Amino acid sequence: MNAALPQQDELDRRLVLATQAGLPLVERPYDALAEQCGMPAAEVQRRLAAMLARGAIRRIGAVPNHYALGYTANGMSVWDVDDACIAELGARVGRLPGVTHCYQRPRHLPLWPYNLFAMLHGRDRPAVLEQVAEIRALLGPACRAHEVLFSTRILKKTGLRLGS
């Protein structure tokens, strides 16, 4: 992690702390942050742009609550895929339109034989299950087993919280 630290200096850290709950809802939000963090307004925009450029900030925007938007079915589809094929097949699954996250993760045998995780969102469970069928067809014989774990309750959802 120390390799990542030189670019993450104290002023950047102040900006992270000041914005992790959200961007100020005032006409000149970056000026408000400048005052809060003790740096010139132009410096706030420059630092945010630099963090965007190096990927420390993925984007500045909104996170919708998918339940409130009618995407009430959220299925974590998990697949036991032949290790020899997972790089190529995982990339193809990740490009399907309904897939929002797609990762290779470790198995925990015998309880958990699955090594490919594809998160699916739909307006209802049948819509998600159609996506599952599409992935099953794409994976073909390289897939030995799969399951869909629907989320039945959000227990907690907050953004990143760094200590201050």
Partner 1 sequence: MRETRAVLDALDRAIINRLQGDFPLCDEPYAELGRALGVDAATLIARLRKMLDEGVLTRFGPMFQVERMGGRYLLAALAVPEARYEEVAARVNADHAVAHNYRRDHALNMWFVLAVETPEALDQACARLEAATGLAVYAFPKEREFFVEMKLTV
Q: Which of residues 61-80 bind partner 1 (CB under 8 A)?
A: 61-72, 74, 76
Q: Are 128 and 97 in contact (CB under 8 A)?
A: no
Q: Which of residues 98-137 bind partner 1 (CB under 8 A)?
A: 99-106, 108, 111-112, 117, 121
* Binds partner 1 by CB under 8 A, chosen from 109, 110, 126, 157: 157
**Closest approach of partner 1 to the CB of residue 3, in Å:** 8
- Locus of tokens 């929002």: 100
CA–CA separation, 154 and 152 (whole Å):
7
The sign of the torsion formed by the CA atoms of 55, 61, 66, 67 equals: positive
Q: Which of residues 133-152 bind partner 1 (CB under 8 A)?
A: 147, 149-152
Phi, psi of 93 (to 5 degrees): -65, -40
Give 53 or 137: the residue with its C-beta nearer to partner 1.
53
- Locus of tokens 């014989």: 141
Q: Which of residues 39-58 bind partner 1 (CB under 8 A)?
A: 41, 45, 48-49, 51-52, 54-58
Residue 158 within binding range of partner 1, rule CB under 8 A: yes
Identify which range of 24-32, 124-132, 135-143 contacts partner 1 by CB under 8 A. 24-32
Helix (H) / strand (E) containing 68: none
The SS3 call for residue 5 is helix
